[in-house]
């Protein structure tokens, strides 16, 4: 791989001027009779948000705050991958590669970052320090999209492994992921186990292997989207509970995923043209998935919500971000039958995750040596429960540091 270059975020003023003009010209729909968030985004909320975006939000101030971190861009096989690299404060910081998901960006990991790099400042021990690398995953934000058809989540680990080993000189390192980052830990651990000290995850989605009984594989059985690998009638009560949660997610929340998997280009036209539409598409999920309901702005400030949307808008990367869904859907990957990821794995299980983790299922696919069931928290636990997650990461990796 070629050299790594420092990077400063500096969006051209012409991009910001164009954004303002589009926001000022937003054409609003009528509201459905039920109102509120019952049929998607709340129209009054969106109008208030766009007014705030125009009159109070300051991208240049947010840009300045983001530039306090050390940003870099590496050329990996022709792909420019953006990342933050923050070295730890301690006697022997351990390298840790942390992956975000959709519709996130790297900013969702910034609250936990200092807790990991300087644990002593947060009541921890200096010897638990990490040197943290946080990328914009390929196709997101300031990272290039792959021009290659079929570049799904299973192809990401090879690029990130090059960054960590050849680029940054870390022969062994840990990884952590939620959402797509959690997906990516599976092929990461399967294809690159020799370079991983450990895997930590807080989200375990269903697409890892075929869990059907032989009788469930009749081609005449009709199956709902996303349930291809699910048993028709799980006999184990814990697994029944898990798959019922998956089913509920697909029915109540899965429309966005179906569209992004099967017809991403159509959706991208609208989201690339309308910043208000893009914000509605993204922020509706932040509210729904946080589990905080109407209090979600107590968890995510308006500036944070808009900055996350801005990272999709100013880089024109919505189309390439959602390609991850379609390429992974049309070119799927799963663990071979009977295979398991043998890298030591830690799991932080949260009750309000989209499909809460079941321990026996995690152990089916990963070598789980550390598992914690938390009483509160959900899909965005890496931000919502940052101090708790930082301690979980320190505890899990502590015995692995010298392995």
Q: What is the 3-state secondary structure (H, E, C) of 133-179?
A: EEECCCCCCCCCCCCCCCCCHHHHHHHHHHHHHHHCCCCCEEEEECC
Please report the pLDDT score of residue 360 as a whole number.
Answer: 94
- What does the pLDDT look like over 96-153, one tens digit per residue? 999 999 999 999 999 999 999 999 999 999 999 999 999 999 999 999 999 999 999 9
**Position 215 in a domain:** no
Q: Beta-carbon neighbour count of residue 331 at 10 Å?
A: 14
Please report the pLDDT score of residue 88 as a whole number.
Answer: 97
**Position 234 in a domain:** no
**Position 225 in a domain:** no
Please report the pLDDT score of residue 156 as a whole number.
Answer: 97
pLDDT band, residue 78 (cuts 50/70/90) = very high
Q: Would you say 389 and 202 are in contact if contact means Cβ atoms under 8 Å apart?
A: yes
> Is 223 a residue whose pLDDT tops 80?
no
**Position 227 in a domain:** no
Do you find a cis peptide bond into 103, omega within 30 degrees of 0? Answer: yes
Please report the pLDDT score of residue 2 as a whole number.
Answer: 60
Please report the pLDDT score of residue 249 as a whole number.
Answer: 83
Q: Residue range 74-100: average pLDDT? A: 96
Angle among Cα 350, 354, 355 to the nearest 5 degrees reads 80
- What does the pLDDT look like over 18-56, one tens digit per residue? 999 999 999 999 988 878 998 899 999 999 999 999 999
What percentage of the chain carries pLDDT values higher than 70?
A: 99
Please report the pLDDT score of residue 208 as a whole number.
Answer: 81
Closest CA to 196 of 210, 185, 207, 181: 185
- What does the pLDDT look like over 277-318, one tens digit per residue? 999 999 999 999 999 999 999 999 999 999 999 999 999 999
pLDDT band, residue 252 (cuts 50/70/90) = confident
Please report the pLDDT score of residue 135 as a whole number.
Answer: 98
* Lowest-confidence segment of 216-220, 243-247, 306-310 by average pLDDT: 216-220
**Position 189 in a domain:** yes
Beta-bridged to residue 95, according to DSSP, are 131
- What does the pLDDT look like over 146-164, one tens digit per residue? 999 999 999 999 999 999 9
SS3 349: strand
pLDDT band, residue 239 (cuts 50/70/90) = confident
> Is 245 a residue whose pLDDT tops 80?
yes
Q: Which residues are catalytic?
A: 179, 325, 379
**Position 388 in a domain:** yes
User: Residue 10 burial (CB < 10 Å; 0-12/13-18/19+)?
Assistant: exposed
**Position 249 in a domain:** no
What is the domain extent for residue 54? 4-209+254-400
- Read off the CATH number of the domain in which 198 is found: 3.40.50.1820
What percentage of the chain carries pLDDT values higher than 90?
A: 83
Locus of tokens 């590669």: 97
**Position 233 in a domain:** no
Q: Beta-carbon neighbour count of residue 336 at 10 Å?
A: 8
> Is 1 a residue whose pLDDT tops 80?
no
pLDDT band, residue 398 (cuts 50/70/90) = very high
Give the chain's count of helices (H) and strands (E).
16, 9
pLDDT band, residue 347 (cuts 50/70/90) = very high
Number of domains in the chain: 1
Please report the pLDDT score of residue 251 as a whole number.
Answer: 83
Q: Bigger pLDDT: 399 or 31?
A: 399
């Amino acid at each position: 791989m070629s050299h790594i270059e420092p990077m400063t975020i500096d969006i051209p003023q012409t991009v910001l001027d164009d954004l303002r003009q589009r926001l000022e010209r937003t054409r609003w729909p009528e509201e459905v009779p039920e109102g509120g968030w019952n049929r998607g985004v709340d129209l009054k909320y969106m109008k208030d948000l766009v007014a705030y975006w125009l009159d109070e939000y300051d991208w240049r101030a947010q840009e300045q705050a983001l530039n306090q971190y050390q940003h870099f861009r590496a050329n990996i096989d022709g792909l420019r991958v953006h990342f933050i690299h923050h070295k730890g404060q301690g006697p022997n910081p351990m390298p840790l590669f942390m992956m975000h998901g959709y519709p996130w960006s790297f900013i969702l990991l910034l609250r936990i970052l200092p807790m990991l790099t300087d644990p002593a400042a947060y009541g921890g021990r200096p010897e638990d320090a990490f040197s943290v690398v946080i990328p914009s995953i390929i196709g997101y934000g300031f990272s290039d999209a792959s021009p290659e058809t079929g570049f799904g989540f299973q192809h990401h680990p090879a690029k990130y492994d090059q960054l960590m080993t050849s680029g940054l000189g870390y022969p062994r390192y840990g990884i952590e992921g939620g959402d797509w980052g959690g997906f990516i830990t599976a092929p990461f651990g399967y294809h690159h186990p020799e370079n991983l000290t450990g895997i930590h995850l807080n989200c375990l989605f269903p697409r890892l292997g075929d869990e059907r009984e032989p009788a469930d594989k009749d081609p005449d059985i009709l199956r709902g989207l996303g349930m291809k690998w699910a048993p028709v009638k799980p006999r184990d009560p814990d697994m029944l509970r898990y798959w019922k949660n998956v089913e509920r997610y697909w029915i109540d929340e899965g429309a966005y995923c179906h569209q992004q998997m099967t017809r991403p280009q159509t959706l991208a036209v609208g989201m690339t043209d309308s910043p208000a539409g893009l914000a509605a598409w993204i922020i509706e999920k932040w509210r729904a998935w946080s589990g905080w309901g109407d209090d979600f702005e107590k968890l995510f400030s308006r500036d944070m919500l808009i900055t996350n949307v801005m990272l999709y808008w100013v880089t024109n990367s919505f189309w390439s971000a959602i390609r991850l869904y379609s390429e992974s859907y049309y070119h799927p990957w799963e663990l071979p039958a009977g295979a398991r990821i043998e890298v030591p794995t830690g799991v932080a299980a949260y009750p309000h995750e989209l499909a809460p983790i079941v321990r026996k299922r995690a152990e089916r696919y990963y070598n789980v040596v550390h598992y914690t069931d938390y009483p509160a928290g959900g899909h965005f636990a890496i931000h919502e429960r940052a101090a708790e997650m930082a301690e979980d990461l320190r505890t899990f990796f502590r015995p692995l540091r010298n392995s």
